[in-house]
Each structure stands twice: as C-alpha cells, then as structure tokens.
Structure 1
Amino acid sequence: MASITIDLPDSQFQKLQDLARVHGIPAEALLRASIEDWLSSSKGDFTQVTDYVLNKNAELYRRLA
C-alpha cells in the first residue's frame, strides 16, 4: 500500500479531527473513505457527461463520418 503526506491548515485539521470523532473513526479512515467515494463518483460523473455528449451529437457524428 502506498502512503501520502499532505499539509493542512490547522483549522482544516481540527475540522477533520472533529468530524472523525463524531463518527467514531480515525481521521485516516474518514479520509480514505472520502477519497474512495470521490474517485468512484468522479468516474461516474465523467461517464454520464460523455454519454450525454455522444448521444446528443450522434447525428452530427454520423454526418461527419
């Protein structure tokens, strides 16, 4: 497993710790879950936009081919 180190302003670090405490999990677990969610949703969003553009312009693409 790879690791990464980032610098956070004290205010963001405190918010992260507070949120993790509310959920009863370590801050690292909260960050890992957030990153996994972001990575999976970003791909889905991109795929949705791509499908929309391809479908919207399908007739144009057929004419240009």
Structure 2
Amino acid sequence: MQKVVKGINYWIEKLPEEYDSMSEKDITNRPLPHKWSKKEILGHLCDSAINNIERFIKTQYEEQV
C-alpha cells in the first residue's frame, strides 16, 4: 500500500509541473478525431476521482453483509 501512496503523491506533485510546461496547443490537440486531448483526459480523471470519493466514503461506513 505504501508503494501506491508514493505513486499517487508523486503524480500529485509532478502533474502540475508537466501540465504547466505544455503549450495550450499541446494540451488541447487531439491526436486523432476519435481520441481525447490531454486536457480532456485530465478532466475525465478529475471528474472520476470526485465521483469516486463519495463511493469510497460510503463503502467505509456501510454495514458489511
């Protein structure tokens, strides 16, 4: 579990640096018409994380059957 936490903490620190180093064109460019841009991928991951927080919290407090 410590390895997972270390990995998450690494990306929490590294991702803003990586994102800020890219141009708007690099961030919004879609490699192919049906592929997502880096900005869209990041937005999707943030949205998923926000939605999953509620699930993780509920799971901790639900009675196990």
**TM-score relative to the length of structure 1:** 0.45
- Which has the higher Rg, Structure 1 or Structure 2? 1
TM-score by length of 2: 0.45
